Chains A and B, each alone.
Chain A
Amino acid sequence: MQFGLLAIIFLFSYHFVPHSETSYFWRLPPLLKEFPGWINTLLDNLMFQWLAVDVWDPVWKEYEQRPVFRIITRAIGSAILFVIIFVRELFLGGAQTIGAFFSDSFLSANKWLYWPALPWTAIVAGAAILGYQLQGARLALLSGIGVGYLCIFGQWEPSLETLSFVLVCAPICFVFGLGFGIWGYMNRSVEAALQPLLNTMQTMPHFSYLIPVMVLFGVGDHAGAVATIIFATPPMIRLTILGLKKVSPDIVDAGAMSGCTKSQLLFKVLIPTARTDILIGVNQVIMQCLAMTTVAAFIGAKGLGFNLKVALNSLEIGKASEIGLCVVLIAVILDKYSLAWANKQKDYFSDLSFFEKYKPYIGFILLTLVAFLLSYLGALYFQDGINYLYYVPFDKGFTISPFIDAGVDWFWEAFFPYLNAFNVWLITSVLVPMRDAYLGMPVFSTFILVMGAGYIVGGVRSAVIIGGLILFIALSEYWDRALITAYMATFAVLISAVLGIVVGSISAQNRFASKTILSVCDFFQTFPSFIYLIPVILLFGITDTSVMIAAIVYAVIPATRYTVEGLNSVPTSLHEAGTMSGVSRLQRWMNIELPLAVPHIMLGINQTVVFALVMVIFGALIGTIDLGQLIMASLSKKGGAGIGLTLGIFVAFMCLAVDNLIQTWAKERKKALGID
């Protein structure tokens, strides 16, 4: 009713506000045009002017003025880089880190100091043993085959470069996340300050971190790592706070009555009790680290992401698929490892012999020796050229990309007319009209719509919050671009919401089907988002349609998951009450299940919005003309840091506005229904 009225006012204003460039009803003046400039000036001052000190330059043999902040960021960068290289050399071999402690001449005089790479057979064995230790034969098989694929297809080197990010970033994220989480738990005002910050950090597009990081830390693996850490820490903080809050007050009291000091209470009672949630946080951190690999490639991080970016840019679908599969495999294996670790309970009391206790380590060492022996034999066999039993170099491995490419070519030849027809139809009769409608919307009407919705849902407070968030965007130069982003996201959200609710509702009717669909969702959610771009480019080439379809496929996951969860959480007693009142299945769905599940489903739609926006922004990778493209473009621009960050904040604010609307609504609704 209220929404109907709002829609009428909205349409009315839409039609009667004149489309004139001078009218403030049509577009607001770009009062905040200078905002990116301010950020740039701030960064410039920090990096080049603020608190300069004299530093001895050993090369020029004189004192040099350097700002403290720059020294600090560069020191952090070098430290991270050192660890990353160290991890890589541990597996791939090398002498760079050893060289850091000795002089180069010492190194060239002592060739034996070179640390050898592990044979790939040993790596496969190690992965399988780890999987077996954590869960059992199934995980051992999965990880063995997965890592085997990486090695045989010659992707081990870039994979390890990517993995080294995870291995270095994840612990740092863990420490920061746990630290801030504990602080937030202990201090309510810290938590209140953290919440909006975390929301913004998590909804900002991955790209927008890159430029400021680039300015502060330079270009390279370490900069990629820093961007990854910034992006992957928030979920850890969130889950730490959540986990600690879930600890029952009785357990805290029991700890206090056992005579715990404050730190004993924290480390011996609270954190171990919240262990499962905290470890799920670790899992999230790992997944986010992987999701950042392609993005980090833009500021010089090596690894699978970089190769994938190159392959996508040159439209080598076969190669891109192979690399994409690597990322997926790493993601799935790490996901399974970390979840298995989270659910594993330690056995303190079993009285094991030395051999039993250290069986996995002994096994690994023995197998490594065998692997070295194998590679020695391999060296004899492959007299010249590559020793395939020792190490499969990048691009020299087994490959099926020619087959994939041929398949793609065939597919294109066979289906091009149909695909193209669909493509043209979608663009000309759906997307373009929709875009024009969005662009033709006076800013006045936009505010009526969003603030009106805010008012209906959450009163004046919500209306002001949402209006404020949108106003920030409206006062910039980029309002039109933001509208384009909004239209793409709306389209994707609408389709995915409908698809998700339909699929979810059907699956929820049956226990087996719901279980299956939930595990399918789990599986697809472990994929880093950009992976979805590969198959759609294969089908639709580089068009808006591709981005849309990728966004829909990606965003349909949360919609489906939350629908199934919401419907399944309707109490059985209500089902039975319905059945005894003689409802049909459809009536039960319409009158009992759906109304009760709607608040939860709406939370899924909230996620869908975030997912869709992420993908729409990622669409810039294959060329769209919204905010994403501008963010990408600012990467290579002078003063891009300010623009990139500002645009990122815009996207985040769009998410936050939707988030505020839906969360408030769901909360009210749940209260009205009396659920939790």
Chain B
Amino acid sequence: MASNEHLSTDPQPVIQCDSVFKIFGDRAKEKLAEVQGGIVDAKAFQEAGCIVGVNNASFNVTRGEKLIIMGLSGSGKSTLLRCISRLTDATAGRILIEGQDLLAMNDKQLIELRRETMGMVFQSFALLPHKTVLENIAFPLQVKGVSTQDSVKKAMDMVELVGLQGRENYFPRELSGGQQQRVGIARSLAVEPDIWFLDEPFSALDPLIRKEMQDEFLRLQSVLNKTILFVTHDFDEALRLADRIAIMKDGIIEQLDTPANIVLNPATEYVQKFTEDVPREKVLRIESVMDPVDSSETFSNLKVSKDAIIETVAEAVLSEQHPVPVSNENNEVVGVLHQSKVIHVLFGRGTDKPHQ
């Protein structure tokens, strides 16, 4: 996808986290002051009655990027998100939003920031039960002080964006889970925020609806191009949606990389456990299995894009007699794809890398 190139053009990250800690407990601050930087020992903290939620998280999110934080329950992924949205105050570290120090903001600045640049979607939808779909969506605008007429007009646009036309006067309890989350999405987008937080938005939904909502999410993002921080416990969802994935365990970010790199080079055993059963052809792009061009070979007439997912072109490639040239977005040949590599990705077993 084009997003990778797009990222590098903007030097300043939208979200920048430096050594963020979130430690629960009365004595968290003084305990943390005793340690010298780096990852802290969670066990030692636990003995002092402190629970480590986020342990030394540092990363940047660039404009238009979809960063997915993946982890099982208790891994601190939601806590990290809550720190960045400042629903809880981080215990230590620095969080910069568009270059502004989040932790140094007073209430007024924080409210201002949330009204202008942040939107958030919740796992439990968190719709106001006494308000209709339209009122729920218009709510962030109304607390901002936008007139009823303007906010309703804007909310109607949002209703259309998420495809809930005709249901704007329903109450949340009259909607299905998927529809409720559409309302949640529309509400979070009503103020046209630059940064979009999603906290396990599809986890409470049935598998089929979840798939549908993921597609919807990708469609919206292709139109809106927000900077996204998305939390999930579902590795497949992370692979499907992410530009980059941060895998968390016990408050520590184990690995932060693109889906392909995580599948190809899992950094720790823990990460490997997730990647083992992942069907590679659904994750890997041609780019990661192509070979350099060797002019002595005969090429087939078919040409594939280096950004194509293997699964989508496998059948066509395998029915060719000769190796297939790979092109970049400018239609220049940048490599060649051998059938054997595709076969290895499709049927090769174990954890070996596809290029030996």
Residue numbers in B under 8 Å from A264 (CB-CB): 143
User: Within the complex, which residue of A248, A256, A272, A345 is in contact with B114, where a contact is CB–CB below 8 Å?
Assistant: A256
Judge whether B122 and A273 touch: CB under 8 Å. no
- Expressed in whole angstroms, the Cα–Cα distance for A650 and B135 within the complex equals 52
Asked if A253 lies at the interface with its beta carbon under 8 angstroms from chain B, I say yes
List CB contacts (< 8 Å) of B81-134 with chain A.
Answer: 82, 85, 87, 107, 111-112, 114-115, 118-120, 122-132, 134
Q: Are B87 and A256 in contact (CB under 8 A)?
A: yes
A353 at the interface (CB under 8 A from B): no
B88 smallest CB distance to A (angstroms): 10
Q: Which residues of A contact B112 (CB under 8 A)?
A: 259
Find residues 128-187 in chain B having any chain A CB closer than 8 Å to their own CB: 128-132, 134-135, 139-140, 143-144, 168-169, 171, 184, 187
Contact of B130 among A248, A253, A255, A273 (CB under 8 A): A273
Q: Which has the most chain B C-beta neighbours within 10 Å: A253, A259, A264, A345?
A: A259
Q: Which residue of A lies closest to B119 (CB)?
A: A257
B191 in the interface (beta carbon within 8 A)? yes
Instruction: Mark out the residues of chain A between 257 and 276 whose CB falls within 8 Å of any chain B CB in the assembled complex.
Output: 257-262, 264, 268-269, 272-273, 275
For the complex, give the distance between the alpha carbons of A260 and B110 in Å: 10
CB of A254 closer than 8 Å to a CB of B: yes
Chain A nearest CB, measured from B104 CB (Å): 18
CA distance A53 to B204 in the complex (A): 67
B129 touching A349, Cβ below 8 Å: no
| Contact indicator A254/B126 (Cβ below 8 Å) | yes
Contacts of A251 in B (CB 8 A): 126-128
Q: Given A253-B87, A273-B129, A258–B124 Cβ distance below 8 Å?
A: no
User: In the complex, what's the smallest C-beta–C-beta distance from B49 to chain A, in angstroms?
Assistant: 19
Q: Which of A255, A258, A345 contacts B171 (CB 8 A)?
A: A345
A259 touches B111 (CB 8 A): yes
Interface residues of chain A: helix, strand, loop or mixed (majority): helix
Nearest opposing residue in chain B for A262, CB measure = B107
Most chain B CB inside 10 Å of its own CB: which residue of A250, A251, A258: A258
Task: Check A254 against B120 for contact (C-beta < 8 Å).
Answer: yes
Q: Is the CB of A261 within 8 A of B132?
A: no
Contact A260/B143 with A254-B120, A254-B126, A269-B128 known, Cβ cut-off 8 Å:
yes
A250 touches B111 (CB 8 A): no
Taking a contact as CB atoms under 8 Å apart, the answer to whether B134 and A250 are in contact is no
Interface pair B169/A257, CB less than 8 Å apart? no
What distance in Å separates the Cβ of B3 from its nearest Cβ neighbour in chain A? 25
- Known contacts: A251-B126, A269-B128. The answer to whether A258 contacts B143 by CB under 8 A is yes
Contact between chains at A250 and B126 (CB < 8 Å): yes
The reply to whether B114 and A257 contact each other, CB–CB distance below 8 Å, is yes
Shortest Cβ gap from A277 to chain B (Å): 12
Chain B residues with Cβ below 8 Å from A355 are none
Chain B, interface size: which category?
35 or more
Interface contact B122-A250, CB-CB below 8 Å: yes
Complex interface: chain B residues within 8 A of A254 (CB): 120, 122, 126-128, 184, 187
Question: Are A272 and B144 touching (Cβ within 8 A)?
Answer: no
Residues of A within 8 A of B171 (CB): 345
CB-CB under 8 A from A255, the residues of chain B are 128
Asked whether, in the complex, the Cβ of B118 is within 8 Å of the Cβ of A257, the reply is yes
B228 CB to nearest chain A CB (Å): 15
Q: Once the chains bind, are A253 and B122 in contact (CB under 8 Å)? A: yes
Minimum CB–CB distance for B122 against chain A, Å:
5
Known contacts A253-B87, A256-B114, A259-B191; A348/B144 CB under 8 A: no
Distance in Å: Cβ of B73 to nearest Cβ of chain A: 16
Chain B residues 165-224 with CB under 8 Å of chain A are 168-169, 171, 184, 187-188, 191, 197
B132/A268 in contact, CB under 8 A: no
A410 vs B135: C-alpha distance when bound (angstroms): 65
Q: Across the interface, do B143 and A250 meet the contact criterion of CB distance under 8 Å?
A: no
| Alpha-carbon distance A262/B111, docked complex (angstroms) | 10
Minimum CB–CB distance from B145 to chain A (whole Å) comes to 10
CA distance A607 to B246 in the complex (A): 54
Tell me the bound Cα distance from A273 to B129 in angstroms.
Answer: 6
Alpha-carbon distance A406/B169, docked complex (angstroms): 60
Write out the residue numbers on chain A whose beta carbons fall within 8 Å of the beta carbon of B139: 258, 268
Residue interface mask A643-659, B partner, CB < 8 A = 1? 00000000000000000
Q: Is the CB of A349 within 8 A of B130?
A: no
Contacts of B126 in A (CB 8 A): 248, 250-251, 253-254
CB-defined contacts of B128 to chain A, threshold 8 Å: 251, 254-255, 269, 272-273
Name A256's closest neighbour in chain B (CB-CB). B87
- The reply to whether A257 and B85 contact each other, CB–CB distance below 8 Å, is yes
B131 contact set on A, CB distance < 8 A = 272
Q: Considering the chains assembled together, what is the distance between the CA atoms of A251 and B112 in angstroms?
A: 19
Q: How far is the CA of A269 from the CA of B139 in the complex (A)?
A: 10
* Residues on the A chain within 8 Å of B87, using CB: 253, 256-257
Instruction: Provide the residues of chain A in CB contact with B125, threshold 8 Å.
Output: 250
* A259 and B140 contact, Cβ closer than 8 Å, known pairs A272-B128, A275-B130: yes
Whether the Cβ atoms of A272 and B143 lie closer than 8 Å is no
| In the complex with contacts A257-B85, A269-B128, A250-B140 CB distance below 8 A | no
B122-A349 in contact (CB<8A): no
Distance in angstroms between the alpha carbons of A255 and B140 in the assembled complex = 8
Chain A residue at smallest Cβ distance from B108: A261
A268 partner residues in chain B, CB cutoff 8 A:
139, 143
Interface residues as binary, A231-257 with B (CB distance below 8 Å gives 1, 0 otherwise): 000000000000000001011011111
> How many whole Å from B91's CB to the nearest CB in chain A?
19
Interface pair B122/A259, CB less than 8 Å apart = no
State in angstroms the CA–CA spacing of A269 and B127 once bound together.
10
Task: Specify which of B114, B135, B168 lies most central, judged by the most chain A CB atoms within 10 Å of its CB.
Answer: B114
Residues of chain B lying within 8 A (CB to CB) of residue A349: 132, 134, 168-169
**Contact of B115 with A259 in the complex, beta carbons under 8 Å:** yes
Interface centre among A250, A257, A264 (most CB of B within 10 A): A257
Please give, as numbers and ranges, the residues of chain B lying within 8 Å of A250 by CB-CB distance.
Answer: 122-126
> Which residue from chain B places its CB closest to the CB of A250 in the assembled complex?
B126
- Nearest B residue (CB) for A345: B171
Chain A positions within 8 Å of B85 at CB level: 257
Q: A250-B124, A251-B128 are in contact. Are A348 and B135 (CB under 8 A)?
A: yes
- Measured CB to CB, the closest approach of chain A to B146, in angstroms, equals 11
| A residues near B118, Cβ cutoff 8 Å | 257
CA distance A2 to B131 in the complex (A): 55
Give the one of A248, A253, A255, A261 with max B CB within 10 A.
Answer: A253
- Rounded to whole Å, the gap between the CB of A497 and the closest CB of chain B is 38
Tell me the complex Cα distance, A275–B111, Å: 25
> A272-B130, A349-B134 are known contacts. Are A257 and B120 too (CB-CB below 8 A)?
yes
Minimum CB distance partner of A257 in chain B? B120
Cα–Cα distance between A248 and B206 once the two chains are bound (Å)? 22
**Who on chain B is nearest to A350 by CB?**
B169
Chain A residues near B184: list those with CB within 8 A.
254
Whole-angstrom CA separation of A348 from B131 in the bound complex: 9
Least Cβ–Cβ distance between B14 and chain A, in angstroms: 17
Complex Cα distance, B87 from A262, in Å, reads 13
Bound-complex Cα distance A256 to B135 (A):
16
CB nearest to A265 among chain B residues? B143
Bitwise interface map of A from 396 to 436 toward B, beta carbon under 8 Å scored 1, else 0: 00000000000000000000000000000000000000000
A248-B124, A348-B135 known; A258 and B187 CB under 8 Å?
A: yes
Q: Given the complex, which residues of A lie within 8 Å of B191, measured CB to CB? A: 259
Interface string of A348-381 (1 = CB under 8 A from B): 1100000000000000000000000000000000
| Cβ contacts under 8 Å, B111 to chain A | 259-261
23 residue pairs A–B, Cβ–Cβ below 8 Å = A250-B125, A250-B126, A253-B82, A253-B120, A253-B126, A254-B127, A254-B128, A254-B187, A257-B120, A258-B114, A258-B115, A258-B143, A260-B111, A261-B107, A261-B111, A268-B139, A268-B143, A272-B128, A272-B131, A273-B128, A273-B130, A349-B132, A349-B169
Please provide the 6 A-B residue pairs with the shortest distance between their CB atoms, ordered closest to farther: A259-B115, A254-B126, A258-B140, A250-B126, A257-B120, A259-B114
Q: Given contacts A257-B119, A349-B168, A349-B169, list 14 more A-B pairs with CB under 8 A.
A: A250-B124, A251-B127, A254-B120, A256-B87, A257-B118, A257-B188, A258-B114, A258-B139, A258-B187, A259-B140, A259-B143, A261-B111, A272-B130, A348-B169
